[in-house]
A = this chain, B = another copy of it.
Amino acid sequence: MDSATRVATTLQALATPSRLLILARLREGPCAATELAAEVGMEQSACSHQLRLLRNLGLVVGRRQGRSVIYALYDGHVAELLDQAVYHIEHLRLGLSDGAEPGLPEETPPGTAR
């Protein structure tokens, strides 16, 4: 697997609102699975599936404690990656338009060559 693919795969993990919410919550501190699901407002099963993905990518870790499994970010790099992503994206010309919004005369950010 080459570098581009590796980076792309990992970034894909941050490319979903649900996963982003999970990571953001974990950034505040460890949390048990069920509680996590509740806090980010998703079904337990769905949350578990996403956690598995994040776990496989090495972004989060989970250790069993009694009946629960406590999840946490893997390390500081994950937290920083999150921070940086949010920071730069929020500071990026906030002119999204992905799906050609109808209504805008199509001329938002910079060279919207069209």
Contacts and interface: CB of A to CB of B under 8 A. Distances in A.
A108 B31 CA distance: 22
> How many copies altogether?
2
A88 interface: yes
A40 B55 CA distance: 31
Contact of A7 (B6, B53, B63, B86): B86
A59 B20 CA distance: 20
Contacts of A98: 9, 53, 56-57
Interface residues of A, number: 59
Contacts of A96: 1, 6, 9-10, 56-58
B81 A81 contact: no
Given A3-B86, A80-B88, 7 more contacts: A9-B15, A10-B92, A64-B113, A69-B113, A75-B92, A81-B84, A81-B89
Interface of A: 1-12, 14-17, 19-21, 24, 53, 55-59, 61-64, 69, 74-75, 77-78, 80-81, 84-86, 88-100, 108-113
